Chains A and B, each alone.
Chain A
Amino acid sequence: MTSPANSSGRPKEDVTVARSVAIAAMLSCIAISLAQIGQLIDPSWPGYVWVALVFLVSLESMHSYRLLAARGVAAQDRGRFRFVEWVTILLVVRFALYLGQPAGTLSQDVWAWSENLSAFFSGRFILAAVLIAGFWGAALFLARTFGDLDAAEYEMHQASTELDRYLWQTMPRHGRQDRAALLQRVGTLFLGGGILLILLAGLARVDVRDMVLLQHGRSRGVIVNVLLYFAIGLLVMSQAHYAALKAGWDLERVPVWDRVGRRWLVAVLVFLALIGLLSALLPVGYSVGLIATIGLVINWVWYIAVQVVLAILFVVSLLVSLMASLFSGDPVDTAFELQPPPPPPPEVVAADGGGNTWWPLLRSVIFWAGLLVLVGYSVIVFMRDRWGLFRGFSLSVWWQRLRGWWGGARAGLGEAVERLREGVLHWRASRDPQLQSQQRRFLSVGRLSERERVRFFYLATVRRAAEAGIARQPTQTPIEYDDVLRSATAEPESADTLTDAFVAARYSSADITPGEADQAKSAWQQLKRRLVRRSKRRSR
């Protein structure tokens, strides 16, 4: 039934290494944009070396954290450990800054340091050291957070006499890590880093003076380090989330039946690739302004609506004329003179003067629609989260309603078609004396009582089932036939619902409520769809 969780919630070594490399790569992406800015200010700034330094120092920071945690180093030794580490880092940074410099620069500076030690601490070195310290700190923060996210040993199995156990039991929340808060911290760091990166990348591409004067043009192309930052960052975020979930499962002794961790990575990659693809397809610019686009959309919607109304009027008038001719015996005469359709909406000229081809217009429509959705959604969620406004507003609710309306419209159309078919049959039967004997009763489903509606839906299903090759045998009761319907349509719930409703409507005197009739109708529609599909397959 259940199996005990692993005694340790710690991840494997390769997972830890992969996380460290990913975090270091993320931070290096920021360092790339920083290096680009640095090179704009000082072209001799060693960009590649700088990025490599950030990568290595980030790795060192996380490695040193794990070493300290594994060895359980005391506070005094910890200070010594950090001091040694930082002296080494500063030396590496100091000498690494000479990579890419002309030969002989280092030897000159070493000579100068021997004369004046303060020359060692140049402005460039101090700036580099401060920035490196920032990256080192960020890496340490993330390593510590990931360490805290994993289930700690003291949270798992301890003897009751152990001090850790005592602390765990007596601390708030049983001494467990507040993993939601930890995740929040990681997320904030990731998003903050993202904003910083985008600002840096933007500043590296745009002349600030032009930007202030609003004279800068559009900048195209992929910014690789930004792309990598967000891709790796979201991977890291998902790993952090998985680590928190896994820790929770381990602590609660919930067995994990599948290899969730392995599939997790694949799922994240697929998910991100899917969104990336969709994002790449969306337009990032527009050639038609917002007002013009809205006007265009409204015009087209109006145009299509008018066309639909005219088409319906045409069909109705034709039917009315047809019926009138039946009674009067006069030849068929169209009721209306068909009016010429309204002209299509006026063409909109793109703002960039690129003509009025459909593609720029479509891109503009998608752009503005996406933007409006984005802004609207953001505002609603923002206000709901803070002030409780729009509490009842839910996209999924609206989506469900939209689906309901669509389903209702389809059902209504289906009923209308069914009635039309019945009407035609009725008309043919009345015209043809041979068919009169076989005349079927003309049914208006809307006028039937609830009980009769349920019976109608069931009998219609039985008729369709017979067409699909699963006719009800005369000896079969509805309950017995229900098994046939269940297996043949793969809609057991619908079959049960409709059969139960029919049995109640046919064999009991209990009142049938409109809700029950609607449920039967919905089941009938489901079954009908399946049976029609089956009939088509059969006819092929």
Chain B
Amino acid sequence: MPNLILYVVVLFVVAAAFRVDFFFYVLYFIFGVQLLARVWVDQALKRVTYRFDYPQRVFVGERATVRIQLTSKTALPLPWLRLHESTPVSLRRAEAFEGVMVLRPYERRDFEYELDCRQRGYYTLGPLTLESGDLFGLQRSRQREAQERVLLVYPRVLPLSQLGLPAQSPFGSIPVKERLYEDPTRLIGVRDYVRGDSFRKIHWRTSAAQGKLQVKRFEPAISIEALVVLNLRQEDYGIARFYTASELGITTAASIAAHLVSARQTVGLACNALDPLSGQESFLGLDPGRGQGHLLQLLDILARVRLCHSLSFVETVREASLGLTWGATVIIITPDVDDELFSLLLWLKQRGLHLVLLVTDPQQAFRQVQQRAAQVNIAALLVWQESDLDMWRKDERL
């Protein structure tokens, strides 16, 4: 509809010229339509609030239900309101969520849609856009959600035994009963004093209470510290399999971490990746820790990491292993192993670390890699074929 202002001016001139009272009413009427239509929509749309309810973390294969609640906090109704919610293409089940409705005064409307979380990743939902207008096409307003909403889709976590790894390999190679190295910060109880015990370990308060010498028992430290180091440099993967192999590596890392946490052991993570949170390539790491909270932090990282291009994996391993104590286990997940990496692994072995090598996309015969690793007593395993995944899925159903 054309702007009514010029029309109002002409109408005013005509009304004043003819001195017909009714023309003034028409003048007011048209001006009122113009003014109210503009003010109405702006004010009504500003007072439409929205809130979202959705699970912020889900696993691959699950469905996430996003609930949107629209509330009108004004007595002004909106004759039409178009709602548009952008959804990630790789998660959507159909088109973007959108529709047109009438929003009455102080009305509250609830909507929901589902996302099919088929693919691991860090996704942003929205922005939600609300658009409305008046009844005559004089005014159109739009309101756009300012805040970003994040949905993390965790990688698949498979039971460790189904990965085909030797169950004791990553974390059981140091007999726990030896207790050569104990962590003095982790007191797990007391026992009777035996000859040879250090006096510094005597728990004097308990000894006084029981009337005989009691010695503090500490948790063994070396058997529980494990670090998963994941290579996500795209250039280290083959062109044909970089996506499949990297996702396989991430799934493997998540599964191992979950298994270690469920076994009440500490596990850390390091990888070279592109972090969508910062938009930069960086060394992402999480110091070894335990508990479900720690596992969630670890899965958060694994959910959002993407392949990078510039960061060297050797540097990542070197940097991540600096803080590890003697006897810790390092699980290296990489597509391939070159000479430089082998040299580094040898150095780590000499430092007293236990190494497990998981290869996901070897560019040479894996047997060679395995033999070379075996020479320095490193366990090397291949996580490669699609049939392996099929087998895991089949077992998972059981």
* A-B residue pairs, 3 tightest by C-beta: A202-B18, A284-B24, A279-B28
Min CB gap B217→A, angstroms: 37
| B residues 52-94 in Cβ contact with A at 8 Å | 77, 79-80, 82, 93-94
| B residues 1-53 in Cβ contact with A at 8 Å | 1-12, 14-15, 17-33, 35-36, 38-39, 42-43
Q: Assess whether A378 is in contact with B5, with CB atoms less than 8 Å apart.
A: yes
Min CB gap A407→B, angstroms: 16
Q: Say yes or no for A414: interface residue by CB 8 A criterion.
A: no
| A residues 227-276 in Cβ contact with B at 8 Å | 227, 230, 234, 237-238, 240-242, 244-245, 249, 253-260, 263-264, 267-268, 271-272, 274-276
Q: Assess whether A234 is in contact with B136, with CB atoms less than 8 Å apart.
A: yes
Residues of B contacting A381 with CB < 8 Å? 3, 5
Min CB gap B114→A, angstroms: 7
Answer whether A267 and B31 are a contact pair too, CB < 8 Å, given A195-B11, A205-B18, A255-B99.
no
Please, which residue of chain B has its CB at the minimum distance from the CB of A252?
A: B98
Residues of A contacting B36 with CB < 8 Å? 271, 274-275
Could you pull out 23 A-B pairs where Cβ atoms are within 8 angstroms? Answer: A2-B98, A183-B1, A183-B137, A191-B4, A201-B20, A211-B17, A218-B19, A218-B20, A219-B20, A226-B22, A237-B137, A257-B101, A260-B101, A260-B102, A264-B80, A264-B135, A284-B25, A374-B8, A375-B12, A377-B35, A378-B9, A395-B38, A395-B39
Residues of B contacting A187 with CB < 8 Å? 1-2, 137
- Complex CA–CA separation, A263 to B101 (angstroms): 10
Would you give the 0/1 interface string for A204-236, flagging 1 where the beta carbon is closer than 8 Å to chain B? 011000010000111111110011001000100
Q: Say yes or no for B283: interface residue by CB 8 A criterion.
A: no
Would you give the 0/1 interface string for B151-172, flagging 1 where the beta carbon is closer than 8 Å to chain A? 0000000000000000000000
Q: Assess whether A241 is in contact with B137, with CB atoms less than 8 Å apart.
A: yes
Q: Assess whether B135 is in contact with A195, with CB atoms less than 8 Å apart.
A: no
Answer whether A256 and B100 are a contact pair too, CB < 8 Å, given A1-B94, A381-B3, A395-B39.
yes
Residues of B contacting A279 with CB < 8 Å? 25, 28-29, 32
Q: Say yes or no for A198: interface residue by CB 8 A criterion.
A: yes
Seen from chain A, the residues whose Cβ lies within 8 Å of a Cβ on chain B are 1-2, 183-184, 186-188, 191, 194-195, 198-199, 201-202, 205-206, 211, 216-223, 226-227, 230, 234, 237-238, 240-242, 244-245, 249, 253-260, 263-264, 267-268, 271-272, 274-276, 278-280, 282, 284-285, 370, 374-375, 377-378, 381-382, 385, 395-396
Q: Say yes or no for B95: interface residue by CB 8 A criterion.
A: yes
- Complex CA–CA separation, A19 to B51 (angstroms): 40
- Complex CA–CA separation, A261 to B4 (angstroms): 25
Q: Assess whether A244 is in contact with B9, with CB atoms less than 8 Å apart.
A: no
Q: Say yes or no for B384: interface residue by CB 8 A criterion.
A: no
Contact of B93 among A1, A191, A241, A276 (CB under 8 A): A1
Q: Say yes or no for B218: interface residue by CB 8 A criterion.
A: no
Q: Assess whether B80 is in contact with A275, with CB atoms less than 8 Å apart.
A: no
Answer whether A254 and B136 are a contact pair too, CB < 8 Å, given A184-B2, A245-B80, A260-B79.
no
Q: Say yes or no for B113: interface residue by CB 8 A criterion.
A: yes
Q: Assess whether B10 is in contact with A195, with CB atoms less than 8 Å apart.
A: yes
Q: Assess whether B100 is in contact with A223, with CB atoms less than 8 Å apart.
A: no
Residues of A contacting B77 with CB < 8 Å? 267
Contact of A254 among B18, B26, B29, B82 (CB under 8 A): B82
Answer whether A238 and B135 are a contact pair too, CB < 8 Å, given A254-B99, A256-B99.
yes
Q: Assess whether B99 is in contact with A2, with CB atoms less than 8 Å apart.
A: yes
Please, which residue of chain A has its CB at the minimum distance from the CB of B27?
A: A374
Residues of A contacting B21 with CB < 8 Å? 218-221, 284-285
Min CB gap A362→B, angstroms: 17
Q: Say yes or no for B97: interface residue by CB 8 A criterion.
A: yes
Q: Assess whether A374 is in contact with B20, with CB atoms less than 8 Å apart.
A: no
Q: Assess whether A223 is in contact with B20, with CB atoms less than 8 Å apart.
A: yes
Please, which residue of chain A has its CB at the minimum distance from the CB of B137?
A: A241
Residues of B contacting A242 with CB < 8 Å? 135
Contact of B100 among A1, A206, A260 (CB under 8 A): A260
Please, which residue of chain A has its CB at the minimum distance from the CB of B22?
A: A223
Q: Assess whether B14 is in contact with A195, with CB atoms less than 8 Å apart.
A: yes
Please, which residue of chain B has its CB at the minimum distance from the CB of A187?
A: B1
Min CB gap A376→B, angstroms: 11
Q: Assess whether A188 is in contact with B2, with CB atoms less than 8 Å apart.
A: yes
Residues of A contacting B80 with CB < 8 Å? 245, 260, 264
- Complex CA–CA separation, A230 to B29 (angstroms): 9
Residues of A contacting B26 with CB < 8 Å? 194, 198, 226-227, 230
Residues of A contacting B11 with CB < 8 Å? 194-195, 198
- Complex CA–CA separation, A259 to B101 (angstroms): 8
Min CB gap A238→B, angstroms: 5
Please, which residue of chain A has its CB at the minimum distance from the CB of B104?
A: A263
Q: Assess whether B32 is in contact with A249, with CB atoms less than 8 Å apart.
A: no
Min CB gap A278→B, angstroms: 6
Please, which residue of chain A has its CB at the minimum distance from the CB of B98?
A: A254
Q: Assess whether B42 is in contact with A396, with CB atoms less than 8 Å apart.
A: yes
Min CB gap B39→A, angstroms: 7
Extra contacts, 16 of them, besides A206-B18, A272-B33 (Cβ < 8 A), are: A183-B1, A186-B1, A194-B7, A194-B11, A198-B11, A222-B22, A226-B22, A226-B26, A245-B133, A254-B100, A255-B98, A264-B80, A280-B25, A284-B21, A382-B5, A385-B3
- Complex CA–CA separation, A163 to B9 (angstroms): 48
Min CB gap B150→A, angstroms: 20
Min CB gap B320→A, angstroms: 32
- Complex CA–CA separation, A338 to B20 (angstroms): 53
- Complex CA–CA separation, A278 to B7 (angstroms): 20
Q: Assess whether B79 is in contact with A2, with CB atoms less than 8 Å apart.
A: no
Residues of B contacting A241 with CB < 8 Å? 1, 135-137
Residues of A contacting B9 with CB < 8 Å? 378, 382
- Complex CA–CA separation, A223 to B43 (angstroms): 34
Contact of A278 among B5, B24, B32 (CB under 8 A): B32
- Complex CA–CA separation, A256 to B100 (angstroms): 5
Q: Assess whether B28 is in contact with A370, with CB atoms less than 8 Å apart.
A: yes
Q: Identify the interface centre among A217, A226, A259, A378: most chain B CB within 10 Å of its CB.
A: A378
Q: Assess whether A275 is in contact with B22, with CB atoms less than 8 Å apart.
A: no
Q: Assess whether A374 is in contact with B97, with CB atoms less than 8 Å apart.
A: no
- Complex CA–CA separation, A206 to B22 (angstroms): 13
Please, which residue of chain A has its CB at the minimum distance from the CB of B111?
A: A257
Residues of B contacting A226 with CB < 8 Å? 22-23, 26
Please, which residue of chain A has its CB at the minimum distance from the CB of B18?
A: A202
Answer whether A382 and B6 are a contact pair too, CB < 8 Å, given A1-B93, A237-B136, A264-B79.
yes
Min CB gap A222→B, angstroms: 6
Min CB gap A198→B, angstroms: 5
Min CB gap A352→B, angstroms: 14
- Complex CA–CA separation, A205 to B5 (angstroms): 26
Residues of A contacting B19 with CB < 8 Å? 206, 216-219
Residues of B contacting A206 with CB < 8 Å? 18-20
Please, which residue of chain B has its CB at the minimum distance from the CB of A224?
A: B22
- Complex CA–CA separation, A14 to B27 (angstroms): 33
Residues of A contacting B28 with CB < 8 Å? 278-279, 282, 370
| B residues 84-135 in Cβ contact with A at 8 Å | 93-95, 97-102, 113-114, 133, 135
- Complex CA–CA separation, A275 to B98 (angstroms): 33
Min CB gap B273→A, angstroms: 31
Residues of A contacting B38 with CB < 8 Å? 395
Q: Identify the interface centre among B8, B101, B102, B135: most chain A CB within 10 Å of its CB.
A: B135
- Complex CA–CA separation, A2 to B85 (angstroms): 12
Answer whether A374 and B100 are a contact pair too, CB < 8 Å, given A199-B14, A264-B79.
no
- Complex CA–CA separation, A396 to B35 (angstroms): 11
Residues of B contacting A274 with CB < 8 Å? 36
Q: Assess whether A234 is in contact with B33, with CB atoms less than 8 Å apart.
A: yes
Contact of B7 among A195, A223, A237, A396 (CB under 8 A): A195
- Complex CA–CA separation, A254 to B21 (angstroms): 46
Q: Assess whether B99 is in contact with A268, with CB atoms less than 8 Å apart.
A: no
Contact of A219 among B18, B94, B113, B133 (CB under 8 A): B18
